[in-house]
Amino acid sequence: MQAVQASLAGTVFKVLVTPGQQIAAGQEVVRLESMKMEIPVESEVAGRVIEVVVQEGAFVNEGDPLVMVEMDA
Amino acid sequence: MTDEELKAARARALAGGPARYHERLAGAGKLDVRTRLDLLLDPGYTEDGLFASALADDLAADGVVTVSGAIGGRPVVVMANDPTVKAGSWGARTVEKILRIQEQAMQLECPIFYLVDSAGARITDQVQMFPGRRGAGRIFYNEVRLSGRVPQICILFGPSAAGGAYIPAFCDVVIMVEKNASMYLGSPRMAEMVIGEKVSLEEMGGARMHCTVSGTGDLLAPDEETAIHWAQDYFAYMPDNWRTTPARAAAVEPAPVDLETLIPENQNLPFDVKQLIEGLVDRDSFFELKPLWAGEMVVGFARLEGEAVGVVANQSKVKGGVLFVDSSDKAARFVTLCDAFNIPLLFLADVPGFMIGTKVERAGIIRHGAKLVAAVSEATVPKICVVVRKAYGAGLYAMAGPAFGSDAVLALPGAQIAVMGPEAAVNAVHYNHIQELGPAERPAFVAARQAEYRADIDILRLAAELVVDELVEVGRLRRELSRRYAHYRTRERRFSERRHPVYPV
């Protein structure tokens, strides 16, 4: 299992995936809001979303896990 | 010695190490040292020290080939480790040969290439090759003396271990071959013995790690041929030395990019600044450095109507284009490189500012940002800042804003320049009042104050106050830039009289 991590400190603006969803490598899974910018956060791997760890509006620090993904074999 | 004996000795030296090591090279996707040189250089070069350690059985050329040749007719010198001779390790003659080829680069003021593939020092020879006046340390001393005087280009084909790792570190650019190249002070085996850490070679100092995490590598090449081609492409943007300018190329129209629709009106939405660069510069001329590291800042060479230019651009698509510790380092180094070798600078500013928060403060964002501001200040090549969308706070300073000796600061019509953006500013100024208001009144009040603030920093207002020198539609930008660079070419290059600044490192 792999965590998609926050690329920088900010608040969770939108969660774009739900548990069980199949996602592609490079797909945007969360949009953060930081420094008055919307920051897309993409999954590096293709796989299935196991868990969304954060809620919209929550503060996350750089490196915090956002979404857990089970990589395609 | 007879002619026949000489012929035999030369054949032995040219053969390099034992056949089994040559076979191993091929298995690892590696080329022979002389094939590497043939690919890099024009045909016909001269070699010194071929007979170094010729009286020993197994030390052909003492493991390093040093030559004077040319690339595209331009004189260069090269040192190239031979990994088939004691794994490219350094003995006393190896070090002496490297020193001499560096000294030649200094005498001729010609570029030097380092083709590195070396296990490091031969411990058995350490007294002769490590500590003395002409020991290995002198290689790095020479590199520092050469730095900024002539281009120093490193291609890393294999390991660059321990002290040897400083050869790439002092070069202007480091091209690493994926899977084979590595740099580390202590090997995984040593790390396990000395500090108890168990890691793989790739994790410790692999090519991908250095090109994506540490930032010590510039370009990650899929194979040796590509690495050599990239070195030649890079070299085309370099002058021969600090006294000269890069050769111009034929002017080419840019790639077809719809610039009018590329940039979102909403300041907060990301777009791909590389598309903007492609739409401005000569087609296929953009040569990006460190593309896999600190992507919120894009740096690279390009050509504007045939003339070389160094581009520094904020990438809103990655981390919002906010400046971080690594992106500051990346841009500072690139600005220094361009300034050293007379390559004019183009800053494309779309920057919300330097990152804030505990994480970056603890990482020293202030001193890292100061490095970038210092490099931009000291750069005396022609420099133009274009405010593409926004330049907030010290971001304006880092991107060569009006106070930093830029020849011109231009702005696109939608640009905003301010201490901070409207949202943050209204919140900062009216915080108490906003808190006192009821939830029903709040949005209208905030929207009204933001509108006032936007009007206050409207780009026409800033042009009226002579903060920016000219307003330009994006479709006119290319023409405007090349006219201006042609005009600024004879710019005064002195900055300040002293030994050197106290670098904010």
- Gyration radius (Cα) of chain B, Å: 26
CB A58 within 8 A of CB A11: yes
Mutate to test the interface with B, among A8, A32, A33, A37 (most CBs of B within 10 A): A37
CB B81 within 8 A of CB B116: yes
Query: What is the DSSP code (8-state) at residue B72?
Result: T
CB of B192 within 8 Å of a chain A CB? The answer is: no
The β-bridge relationship of strands B173-177 and B182-184 is unpaired
Quote the CA–CA distance of B206 and B184 in Å, as a whole number.
Answer: 8
Give A35 to chain B, closest Cα distance, Å: 6
CB of A7 within 8 Å of a chain B CB? The answer is: yes
B319–A38 C-beta distance less than 8 A: no
Quote the CA–CA distance of B404 and B255 in Å, as a whole number.
Answer: 31
Q: CA quadruple B218, B319, B360, B197: dihedral positive or negative?
A: negative
Residue of B nearest to A35 (CA): B352
Residue of B269, B317, B353 lying closest to A35 (CB–CB): B353
Quote the CA–CA distance of B455 and B313 in Å, as a whole number.
Answer: 26
At residue B252, what are phi and psi to the nearest 5 degrees? Answer: -135, 140
Place of tokens 């910018």: A37
A9–B357 C-beta distance less than 8 A: yes
- Give residue B449's pLDDT: 93
CB of B152 within 8 Å of a chain A CB? The answer is: no
Residue of B nearest to A8 (CA): B319
CB A67 within 8 A of CB A52: yes
Give A52 to chain B, closest Cα distance, Å: 21
Quote the CA–CA distance of B206 and B478 in Å, as a whole number.
Answer: 40
CA-nearest of B281, B271, B355, B341 to B311 is B281
Mutate to test the interface with A, among B212, B213, B319 (most CBs of A within 10 A): B319
**DSSP class per residue in B188-224:** HHHHHHHT-----HHHHHBHHHIIIII---SEEESSH
And the tokens for B168?
A: 């790439």
For residue B193, count other CB atoms closer than 10 A to its CB: 11
Residue of A34, A61, A62 lying closest to B320 (CB–CB): A34
B320–A8 C-beta distance less than 8 A: yes
- In 3-state terms, what secondary structure has residue B18? coil
A38–B270 C-beta distance less than 8 A: yes
Residue of B269, B318, B359 lying closest to A9 (CB–CB): B359
CB B106 within 8 A of CB B98: no
- Give residue B427's pLDDT: 87
ipTM at complex level: 0.89
- Give residue B91's pLDDT: 96
Residue of B317, B355, B358 lying closest to A8 (CB–CB): B355
Q: CA quadruple B42, B48, B49, B50: dihedral positive or negative?
A: positive
CB of B321 within 8 Å of a chain A CB? The answer is: yes
CA-nearest of B13, B83, B84 to B47 is B13
A34–B421 C-beta distance less than 8 A: no
Contacts of residue A37 in chain B, CB cutoff 8 Å? 268, 270, 316, 320-322, 352
CB B406 within 8 A of CB B400: yes
- Give residue B164's pLDDT: 84
Query: What is the DSSP code (8-state) at residue B213?
Result: I
Quote the CA–CA distance of B276 and B481 in Å, as a whole number.
Answer: 14
Mutate to test the interface with B, among A13, A32, A35, A42 (most CBs of B within 10 A): A35
Residue of A nearest to B422 (CA): A36
For residue B198, count other CB atoms closer than 10 A to its CB: 8
Which amino acid, A68?
Answer: M
How crowded is the C-beta side of B435, counted as CA atoms within 13 Å? 6
CB B180 within 8 A of CB B258: no
Q: CA quadruple B30, B230, B332, A9: dihedral positive or negative?
A: negative
Give B269 to chain A, closest Cα distance, Å: 6
And the tokens for A49?
A: 């979303």
Place of tokens 């490192």: B505
CB of A39 within 8 Å of a chain B CB? The answer is: yes
Contacts of residue A35 in chain B, CB cutoff 8 Å? 320, 322, 352-353, 355-356
Is the pLDDT at A73 greater than 90? The verdict is no
B356–A61 C-beta distance less than 8 A: no
Give A66 to chain B, closest Cα distance, Å: 15
Sequence-ordered strand ranges (E) for B33-171: 46-48, 64-71, 74-81, 112-118, 152-161
B319–A39 C-beta distance less than 8 A: yes
Give A51 to chain B, closest Cα distance, Å: 23
Counting one residue from chain A and one from chain B, the pairs whose CB atoms sit within 8 A come to 45
CB of B270 within 8 Å of a chain A CB? The answer is: yes
- Looking at the DSSP bridge assignments, the partners of residue A4 are A67
Quote the pTM value: 0.95
B268–A38 C-beta distance less than 8 A: yes
Residue of B267, B316, B319 lying closest to A7 (CB–CB): B319
- Give residue B422's pLDDT: 87
The full 3-state SS of chain A, as one line of letters, equals CEEEECCCCEEEEEECCCCCCEECCCCEEEEEEECCEEEEEECCCCEEEEEECCCCCCEECCCCEEEEEEECC
- Give residue B438's pLDDT: 87
Give B358 to chain A, closest Cα distance, Å: 9
Provide block-wise average pLDDT over 10 residues at a time, chain B (505 residues). 96 96 95 98 97 96 98 98 96 97 98 96 92 96 98 97 90 98 93 93 95 98 98 98 98 97 92 98 98 98 98 96 98 98 98 96 97 98 97 96 98 94 88 90 92 91 96 98 97 95 92
CB B429 within 8 A of CB B421: no
Residue of A35, A36, A40 lying closest to B355 (CB–CB): A35
The β-bridge relationship of strands B470-471 and A22-23 is unpaired
Quote the CA–CA distance of B152 and B145 in Å, as a whole number.
Answer: 11
Residue of A nearest to B294 (CA): A7
Query: What is the DSSP code (8-state) at residue B282?
Result: P
Burial B273-284 (b: 16+ CB within 10 A, else e): bbbbbbbbbbee
Q: CA quadruple B348, B368, B379, B409: dihedral positive or negative?
A: positive
- Give residue B328's pLDDT: 98
Quote the CA–CA distance of B110 and B75 in Å, as a whole number.
Answer: 7
Burial B63-98 (b: 16+ CB within 10 A, else e): bbbbbbbebeebebbbbbbbbbbbbbbbbbbbbbbb
Give B282 to chain A, closest Cα distance, Å: 29
Contacts for B167 with CB less than 8 Å, ≥ 6 apart: B114, B116, B139, B140, B143, B154, B160
Place of tokens 């087609």: B283
